[in-house]
Amino acid sequence: MKFFNKRLTMITASAAITLSLLSFSAMAKTVDTRATSTQTAAAPTITWEKSLSLLESGNKRFVTGKLTKKDFSKAKLNDLTVNGQKPFATIISCADSRVPPEHLFDQGLGDVFIARNAGNVIDDVTLGTVEYGAEHLGTPLIVVMGHTKCGACKATVDSNLAHSHEASVGIESILSKIKPSFEEAYTHTQNTNALYTLTEDLNIENSIQELEERSPILKELVEQKKVKIVGAKYDISTGKVTFEKSHD
Ligand SMILES: [Zn+2]
């Protein structure tokens, strides 16, 4: 699969993110003081390797049906309210109902910071969400996770093959984000099913690249080795998440 063969330069959100006014104000302050932002960034409590290991072991439990018991008690809610959140990873995934990160990584409340949208693309809101997770919450690992049978990627392929331009403004904003991946895929194959898969894979890579290129905050955190961005793909038929393995 091309996605896993192509070297990624490193690295790697958006519907239901709720930030308290207090947190949002803190984030805005951080952005306003870019020169010293890294000094105010939350220090990761674990390494990205450990974070990745936690996600891998969680997905293994999901695949084998050996899920851990989750704590949804009032005490847990109170703890997270009083002490705040300290998620160990930021995940960008598709809005697809078959791809819920908390479930497929067997994680509980307060564990993972997630931004979701159809097609796991990087728009401005998603970019800001990921920056917030990495810089303010201190997650050492950012995962861009695509998946098999992605409807957003399929719609992009189908509309381009049909030369259809009838999408709404909202849908078009998604399709236009994925279109470069389709166009690159089309230089390799004209087989429709292969185009679906390759477009999914390239869309993961392109989202990673966009994070790196558009965010000075993430670029700096990656260069300082405070943050690692990795790609991953979820197989909706097996439940398994495969991470790209070009870690260094
Ligand atoms: Zn999808």
Tens of pLDDT, residues 79-122: 999 999 999 999 999 999 999 999 999 999 999 999 999 999 99
13 CA to centre of ligand 1 in angstroms: 12
81 CA to centre of ligand 1 in angstroms: 32
200 CA to centre of ligand 1 in angstroms: 8
pLDDT at res. 210: 97
153 CA to centre of ligand 1 in angstroms: 7
- Nearest residue to 122 via CA among 195, 27, 18, 214: 214
93 CA to centre of ligand 1 in angstroms: 8
152 CA to centre of ligand 1 in angstroms: 5
pLDDT at res. 41: 54
- CA dist 172 and 115 (Å) reads 20
Average pLDDT over residues 11-21: 35
> What pTM did the predictor assign?
0.84
14 CA to centre of ligand 1 in angstroms: 13
Banded model confidence at residue 246, pLDDT cuts 50, 70, 90: low
180 CA to centre of ligand 1 in angstroms: 16
Order across the sheet with 112-117: list the strands: 112-117, 89-94, 141-147, 228-234, 241-243
**Where exactly are the structural domains of the chain?**
2-148+216-243
11 vs 172 pLDDT, higher one: 172
- Selected from 3.40.1050.10, 3.30.930.10, 3.40.50.450, 3.40.190.10, the CATH number assigned to the domain covering 2-148+216-243 reads 3.40.1050.10
Pick the range with the lowest mean pLDDT from 42-46, 187-191, 221-225.
Answer: 42-46
Which amino acid is located at 230 in the chain?
V
Banded model confidence at residue 44, pLDDT cuts 50, 70, 90: low
183 vs 39 pLDDT, higher one: 183
- CA dist 10 and 2 (Å) reads 16
183 to 86, 128, 226: CA distances (angstroms) = 39, 27, 34
